[in-house]
Amino acid sequence: MSKLGGKVILITGGAQGLGEAHSRLFAGRGASVVIADIDSIAGLELAQELTAKGLVASFQKLDVRDGANWAQVVEDVMDRHHRIDALVNNAGIYLRAPLEDLSSKQFAEVMEINVNGTFLGCKAVAPIMRRLGGGVIVNTGSIAALVANLDGEVAYCASKGAIKMLTKAVASDLAKYNIRVNSVHPGVVQTPMAAEFFKNPELTRELLGTTLMKRAAAPAEISEAIAFLISDSASFMTGSDLVVDGGFTAV
Ligand code: NAD
């Protein structure tokens, strides 16, 4: 079990889906989790639920596109906890539209949240982690960063591919400050984002058929991989891409 006790971990998109699973798992392992999400209702509810169980969790409203919002969230977390040990850039959106129908506005919107949101997160925590003598950033990619085997994922694939290389470039800049930066690339995971797929039996068959393990992941299976990257067990890992896809990209 990856050790997270005492760490302060900021999770974007922490209110729902994968982010919710990360919040639950990390808090359950003794971390202080900060759930940062654009959805205040779900975020507050989750923070209250975890706190009622005796865990350490709080909510911060954050739109990852907004640099000023990032600065204020980071300041609030520092006031409360005096440190940020890890940032999980998890917030993201999915859009499925074939190239012919995809507008540049839609393309820009996906890039703005998925890529610029991740970039702003790295920028916001880096000076603090540097001052503290180190830290960990985990960026959320996807199998869509590695393969483009489904029609209509032009914007999503472009954004996730960008996150993969952004991670390596940021890792290169921050290694001298003892800040490790890695990306995680989940396969199909049962979250509200993927619910659309599961409504379509043909698409479900196609996606799960290509997955060697013939099933979707439970969100906590991805959280475990991220917990490892945050923990000191991954002390020599930076700039890497950790693929957690049930074998989707293996064949
Ligand atoms: P989800 O839609 O279920 O949850 C996303 C969360 O992000 C929500 O809580 C939402 O409120 C929040 N969010 C959206 N826009 C935001 C913004 N501008 N600022 C702050 N928060 C915002 O999605 P999910 O399935 O949990 O996906 C989480 C991450 O994992 C995404 O980056 C996604 O691309 C990636 N991913 C998901 C899958 C999958 O199969 N579900 C597979 C690979 C990668």
Here the tokens at position 41 are 């209702």
Q: How far, in Å, from the CA of 6 to the mean position of ligand 1?
A: 26
- Mean pLDDT of all residues in 181-189: 98
Q: Which of 191, 223, 242 to mutate to test the pocket of ligand 1 (most atoms within 8 A of CB)?
A: 191
Burial code (b: 16+ CB inside 10 Å, e: under 16) for 158-169 equals bbbbbbbebbee
Compute, in angstroms, the gap from residue 113 CA to the centroid of ligand 1: 10
Predicted pLDDT of residue 96: 95
Mean pLDDT, range 161-172, rounded to an integer: 99
Confidence of residue 197 (pLDDT cuts 50, 70, 90): confident
Rounded Cα gap, residues 155 and 107, in angstroms = 5
108/185 Cα distance (integer angstroms)? 22
Catalytic residue among 26, 70, 156, 248: 156
| Beta bridge partner(s), residue 182 | 138
Which pLDDT band, with edges at 50, 70 and 90, does 91 fall under? Answer: very high
Q: Which of 10, 18, 25 has most ligand 1 atoms within 8 Å of its beta carbon, as the pocket-test mutant?
A: 18
1 pLDDT exceeds 90? no
- Cα–Cα dist 56/38, whole Å: 20
Give the pLDDT band (50/70/90) at residue 100. very high
Instruction: Provide the token pair at 105.
Output: 């506005």
Taking the CA of residue 156 as centre, how many other CA atoms within 13 Å lie in the half-sphere pointing to its CB?
A: 20
CA–CA dist 82, 85 (Å, integer) = 10
Q: What is the pLDDT of residue 102?
A: 98
CA-nearest of 246, 149, 239, 230 to 188 is 246
Phi-psi region of 82 (alpha: psi -120 to 50; beta: other; left: phi over 0): left
Residue 6: both structure tokens together: 């005492």
pLDDT at 186 over 90: yes
Class of the domain covering 8-237: alpha beta
Ligand 1: lining residues by beta carbon, under 6 Å: 12-13, 15-19, 37-39, 62-65, 90-94, 113, 117, 140, 142, 186, 188-189, 191-194
Instruction: Compute the average pLDDT of residues 3-28.
Output: 98
pLDDT of residue 2: 81
CA distance 216 to 191: 10
pLDDT of 231 reads 98
Are 28 and 95 in contact by the 8 Å Cβ rule? The answer is: no
Q: Which amino acid is at 115?
A: V
What does the block give as tokens for 14? Answer: 């922490």
Q: What is the mean pLDDT of the chain?
A: 97
Q: 200 CA to middle of ligand 1, Å? A: 20
Burial 111-146 (b: 16+ CB within 10 A, else e): eebbbbbbbbbbebbbebbeebeebbbbbbbbbbbb
pLDDT for 196: 86
> How far is ligand 1, taken at its centre, from the CA of residue 176, in Å?
30
CA 251 to chain centre: 25
**Strand order across the 241-244 sheet:** 56-61, 32-37, 8-12, 86-89, 135-140, 179-186, 241-244
The verdict on whether 94 is a catalytic residue reads: no
Mean per-residue pLDDT, 220-243: 98
Atom of ligand 1 minimally distant from the CA of 94: 34
> Does 41 have pLDDT greater than 90?
yes
Q: Mean pLDDT over residues 161-189, rounded? A: 98
As a whole number, mean pLDDT of residues 82-90 equals 98
pTM (2 d.p.): 0.98
Residue 31: pLDDT band with limits 50, 70, 90: very high
Report which protein residue has its CA nearest ligand 1's atom 2.
193
Rounded to the nearest whole angstrom, what is the distance from the C-alpha of residue 1 to the centroid of ligand 1?
25
